[in-house]
Amino acid sequence: MGAVLPDLGNAEWLQWTAVRTIFAALDRDGDSARIVGGAVRNALLGRPVRELDFATTATPDVVARRAEAAGLKVVPTGVEHGTLTLVGSGLGYEVTTLRQDIQTDGRHAVVRFGRDWEADARRRDFTVNALSVDAGGKVYDPIGGYPDILARRIRFIGDADRRIAEDRLRILRLFRFHAEYGSGDLDRDGLSAAIRARDGLRELSAERIGQEMRRLVVAPRAPETIAIMQESGILTLVFAGIGYLAPLARLAAFEASVGAAPTPAPRLTALSCRIEEDVERLAARLRLANSERDRMLGALAAARRFAIFPDERVARVALYRLGAAAYRDGVALALAWSGAPPDASDWRDLYRLPERWMPPVFPLGGRDVLGEGMERGPAIGLLLRSLETWWIEQDFTPDEAALRTRLQRMIAAQQ
């Protein structure tokens, strides 16, 4: 006997005003609508539900007409594939007409609209993503994905080779979903199919690969899953080089020990970068945002400050110069490189310095120098930097009056 499907009728997100409006607009006149995919999976796993995607038997023109009549904004985000985004209460909800893939080339698909819920489910990637729920909370599982959800097993629907041939990004999605939701060993059939098809990754856009890798590196089981990717020759294709598995594992464990939420830039740095040229190469290869690239470069520079473990005074200087965010990135990356235990108390204390000491603001500026009779020019900046350096060397203790006195002496010495 199969596992009994739970009822989601009490799910809070099923009662959202916009959700009820969408169901009322689409679940009528012979058409039906359901929430599909990740929201159902996460709800059954007891995880937060952040995005709601709908599927419906109604064609896109009917969806648009009914949604507008219900007061929803309609955005044609993927109308060629039957997808519209309906905006209500300030949130967007993707609504896709049931479909079947008629032709695929591993990157794009030609689709035909339909009304068969099971056929639509069978065209999805993994069994855990093929469940749906109606307006009343009844869960539908035509593929038998619920036992895989209970077992936390990521398994392709049907033949793994065929699923990957339809979209080669599913190679990376297999690893990402295993790292995020999986338990135990990675599915053997899926892994074998991914290895056979791995050269197809070369044909995917950098943007699509980058999106998957950002999500994969921050997943709960990222270090061990990425190790499998490296062993199977897939990580090398993605990064054009091997990854630093031990630093990534230490960084992830250290983040857990200090309660830091994982983010892609530091983890990608630990995994693939030791010098600035590595960052530039990876940023281009994965089409990273400039802000991500800059954070990675900043983490590298900051980590070098901690190549020799600093005392508290030196650490305060680093925090003052770097700011809290770059300081923490640098400490975490330096720990990852050092080989020190991720739960080392001295490294945790170093990381938490911003919690117990706030860098002061240097109290003087150009106007103060001009007020002492200096003429405008580059000498003002040089004088201020010299004064600030002295203040830092005194461990930030001189107050504004002491700084003004020293400034006056410095100006007098130059005259």
Determine the CATH number of domain 153-240: 1.10.3090.10
Q: What pLDDT is attached to residue 341?
A: 95
**Spatial distance between the Cα atoms of 77 and 112, rounded to a whole number of angstroms:** 18
φ/ψ of residue 317, rounded to 5: -60, -45
For 253-275, the pLDDT digits (tens) are 999 999 999 999 999 999 999 99
Hey, what amino acid is at 168? R
Give the angle subtended at the CA of 124 by the CAs of 122 and 130, to the nearest 5°: 75
Summarised one tens digit per residue, pLDDT across range 309-327 is: 999 999 999 999 999 999 9
pLDDT of residue 109: 58
pLDDT tens per residue, range 75-132: 999 888 899 999 999 999 999 999 876 555 545 556 679 999 999 999 999 999 999 9
Tell me what pLDDT residue 168 has.
Answer: 96
Is residue 105 helix, strand or coil? coil
3-state secondary structure of 121: helix
Q: Output the pLDDT for position 1.
A: 44
Give the fold, CATH level 3, of 1-151: Beta Polymerase; domain 2 (3.30.460)
Listed in sequence order, the DSSP H helices in 287-352 are 290-304, 312-322, 324-338, 345-351
**CA distances from residue 320 to 88, 89, 90, 143 in whole angstroms, order as listed:** 45, 43, 40, 57
3-state secondary structure of 284: helix
- Token pair, residue 71, equals 């007061």
Where the chain has pLDDT below 50, the residues are 1, 106
Q: How far apart are CA 129 and CA 114, in angstroms?
A: 19
pLDDT for 103 equals 55
Give the strand pairing for 139-140 and 132-133: antiparallel
DSSP three-state, residue 109: strand
Residue 47, both tokens? 């995880």
Any idea which residue has 């040089």 for tokens?
382
Residue ranges per structural domain of the chain: 1-151, 153-240, 244-359, 366-414
